[in-house]
Amino acid sequence: MLVVMQQGATEEQIEHVIDRLVDLGFDVHRSTGVIHTVLGGVGGKYDFDLAVFQVMDGVKEAHRIVSPYKLASRAFRPGGTIVRVGSLAIGGDAVVVMAGPCSLENRDQIEQCAEVAARTGARVIRGGAFKPSSSPYEFQGLGAEGLQMLRAAADRHGLLVVSEVMDQTQIPLLAEYVDIVQVGARNMQNLNLLRELGKQSKPVLLKRGIAASIEELLLSAEYILAGGNYNVILCERGIRTFETQTRYTLDLSAIPVVKKLSHLPIIADPSHGTGRRDIVAPMARAALAAGADGLMIEVHPDPDRALSDGAQSMRPEQFEELMHQLQAVALAVGRASWPVPL
Ligand code: PEP
Ligand code: MN
C-alpha cells in the first residue's frame, strides 16, 4: 500500500492516514521528500477499500500493491494450474478445443457437431441447453432433453461435455450430464451462483462479463476458489467497446495479462468475441499465438438456420480447416495440439 500526501499536507492529516493504515495491520514507513510525504504500508489486510484512502484529506494518491484476490493470484501457485477433466488436461502443454453449436437444437444437429469435433481433434463438445438470450422472445433452450442428447452424442464420440448453468437451482441437473459447467458472461457476477459452484466438484468455465475488467474476472474466480473448488478455467469472450464492426471486441491482451496475474488456465472464445463467422479463424489463430490454453468455437451444420448465433457459427468444413491451421500455430508457439488426422 502506497499513499502519497499532497504538497502542504498537514501533520494532522498525515497522522490520520498513518493511524488508519496501522488499524488495518500495516507496518508504516514514512518518507519525507522536499515536496511530498510518502507513506508505505507493508503487510496488513488486502480486503480494504482503496477509495477510502484516495479521498482522505491531504491525500494526493493511494495505490494498492497487493492484489485484492489471493487464491486466484499467480503468487498462490507460481507454477500454474492444470485443470484435469478425465484424461484431459487444460492449462498444460497441449491446447484444447471445445466446439459445438450455440444452442442444442435436435439430435441430428448435435450428432454432426460431435462427429466433426471428434474427427478433427477437439476434445470437448459444447452446446447450451439453457440459453441466456438477450430477448425473452428468442429461443430459450431445450433444457434437460438437450443435455441428454448432448451427453449421448459426446459418449458416442469419446468427447467431454461443457454446458451453461444459468442459476444455482440447475446445478444438480447439469452435474448429471456435463464434465465442465459453464458460467456465461451475463452471470460472471452472479455471486450466489459462483458461491454454490465453489462448493461442488465439477470444473467451472468462467466467461468474462461484457463490461468486466480483468480484475473483476479474477475476483469472480476467487468466489469459486474460496468455496474450495480450484478447478476454474477462465474464458476471454470479448468485451463491449465503441466498435460496431464486430459484435464485441475480443480482448486478446487479456490472455497474457491473466497469465501474469493468475495461475488459472485461460481459453478464448472468438465466436462470441467477434460475432462473425468470417473472422473467427484469424482471431482463433491469434488467441493461441497470444498464449491461450484453448479455444471455444461455435459450429453448426446449417448456420443460416441456427436457432441462435448462426452468424458466428462455423460450418463443419470451415472448422475442419481451422483445426489444421491451429495445429501449426500451436507448434509455432511451443504448444502441443492433437494428433494429425489421417
Ligand atoms: C455461449 O457460450 O453460448 C454464450 C451465451 O456465451 P456468453 O456467455 O459468452 O455470451
Ligand atoms: Mn452462442
237 lines ligand 1 (CB under 6 A): yes
Average pLDDT in the chain: 96
Ligand 1 atom nearest residue 308's Cα: 3
Is 270 a pocket residue for ligand 1 (Cβ < 6 Å)?
no
Q: What ligand is nearest to the CA atom of residue 190?
A: 1
Percent of the chain with pLDDT over 70: 99
CA angle 295, 299, 304 (to 5 degrees): 145
> What pLDDT is stored for residue 219 in this prediction?
97
Residue with CA nearest ligand 1 atom 4: 184
Stated length of the chain: 342
pLDDT band for 342, please (50, 70, 90 cuts).
Answer: very low
CB of 184 closer than 6 A to ligand 1? Answer: yes
SS3 assignment, position 329: helix
CA distance 283 to 294: 12
Query: 156 Cβ partners below 8 Å, 6+ apart?
Result: 111, 114
The span from the CA of 297 to the CA of 303, in Å, is: 13
Beta bridge partners of 40: 2, 29
Rounded to 5 degrees, what are φ and ψ at 102? -65, -60
The model's confidence at residue 340, banded by pLDDT at 50, 70 and 90, is: low
Over residues 211-224, the mean pLDDT reads: 98
Question: pLDDT digits over 259-285, tens only?
Answer: 999 999 999 999 999 999 999 999 999
Of 32-36, 126-130, 232-236, the range with the lowest mean pLDDT is 32-36
- pLDDT band at residue 325, thresholds of 50, 70 and 90? very high
Cα 184 to middle of ligand 1, angstroms: 5
Q: What is the pTM of this model?
A: 0.93
Nearest atom in ligand 1 to 208's CA: 9
Q: Is 132 in the pocket of ligand 1 (CB under 6 A)?
A: yes
The answer to whether the CB of 303 is under 6 A from ligand 1 is: no
Report residue 242's pLDDT band, with 50, 70 and 90 as the boundaries.
very high
* pLDDT score for 46: 76
Whether ligand 1 lies within 6 angstroms of the CB of 128 is answered as: yes
CA-185 nearest atom, ligand 1 = 8
Atom number in ligand 1 closest to CA 182? 2
| DSSP string covering 50-79 | HHHHHTSTTEEEEE--S-S-STTBGGGSTT
Over residues 118-131, the mean pLDDT reads 97
- The answer to whether the CB of 272 is under 6 A from ligand 1 is yes
Q: CA-CA distance, 194 to 323, in Å (whole number)?
A: 32
- CA–CA separation, 206 and 192 (whole Å): 14
Query: What percent of the chain has pLDDT above 90?
Result: 93
